[in-house]
Amino acid sequence: MIFLLLGVSFDGTAQKRKMTNPVIAHRGAWKNTKVPQNSIASLQEAIKIGCVGSEFDVRITADGHPVVVHDPVHDGVSIDNSSYAEVAKLKLSNGEPLPTLESYLEAGSGKNSTTLVLEIKVSQLGKERTLLLTRKCVETVKKMKMTKKVDYISFDYDACKLVRQLDRKANVAYLNGDIAPSELKKEGINGIDYHLGVFRKNESWIKEAQDNKMPVNVWTVNKEEDMKWFLGKKFDFITTDEPELLFSLLKAEREK
């Protein structure tokens, strides 16, 4: 019995969601709407068109504040090495300040069906900073009572494992594409989110993940032919800079 209990790993503990579509906007819906990536405006656009998820990137300032930004250096300012006071002066091209994690989550809260897919970025200052960021992210999500609204992804395997330790029910997926789904499952990582080239090379991992009841996500799929291929393979999620195109393909399929 004890063996059985231990053997359960994390099966069934992760959040189950009703999935209305597989469309995840990569850094928000920015490309066709002409708003900056990772801006609150791009999140609002993703919500408006009904994406099942909107992905965004989080880094940590030198004094421990999580902020939403992709690159380690923004307008010549290193996020890792600058205080929040310095980072707060930075603006996006639409005039928004770089969002704090809190302001971003706040913007995504409320009545909408868009999951916030939080990428914990790898710190250039080493593992400890990445893990500190991981703790801050989970802490902030819990404090804002948004655990059911947020999924986590990271290229850092230890960050994924730490999310699992800190929140038994969180959906967490690994990005780096170098570990087989069944291995991840043993560590309690309940989803895979790999580059499209990884799935083309290791097609058997798709079925392996699906057999393990792991949600399967792929990035970053921007071409129509690739979208069709992953739709054909019944991916749970397709992460794209072109959510509008993916929606139009889904619509065309339904009308067939």
Q: Which residues bind to Mg ion, rule: CB under 5 A?
A: 57, 119
No. of helices (H) and no. of strands (E), the chain: 11, 11
Find tokens 């690739």 and name the residue.
226
Dig out the tokens for 10 from the structure: 């994390």
The burial class, CB within 10 Å (0-12 / 13-18 / 19+), for 14 is buried
119 or 167, CB closer to Mg ion?
119
Task: Look at residues 71, 23, 50, 58 and name the one whose alpha carbon lies nearest to residue 220.
Answer: 23
172 or 208, CB closer to Mg ion?
172
Question: String of b and e for 229-244 (b: at least 16 CB within 10 Å)?
Answer: bbbeeebbbbbbbbbb
Minimum gap (Å) between residue 175 Cβ and Mg ion: 8
DSSP type of residue 2: H
Minimum gap (Å) between residue 154 Cβ and Mg ion: 9
69 or 138, CB closer to Mg ion?
69
Minimum gap (Å) between residue 8 Cβ and Mg ion: 31
45 or 57, CB closer to Mg ion?
57
Q: Are strands 77-78 and 237-240 parallel, antiparallel or unpaired?
A: unpaired
Minimum gap (Å) between residue 253 Cβ and Mg ion: 27
Find tokens 């054909």 and name the residue.
232
Minimum gap (Å) between residue 68 Cβ and Mg ion: 10
155 or 229, CB closer to Mg ion?
155
Question: String of b and e for 167-200 (b: at least 16 CB within 10 Å)?
Answer: beebbbbbbbbebebeebbebbbbbbbbbbebbe
Minimal CB distance residue for Mg ion: 119
171 or 212, CB closer to Mg ion?
171
Minimum gap (Å) between residue 56 Cβ and Mg ion: 7
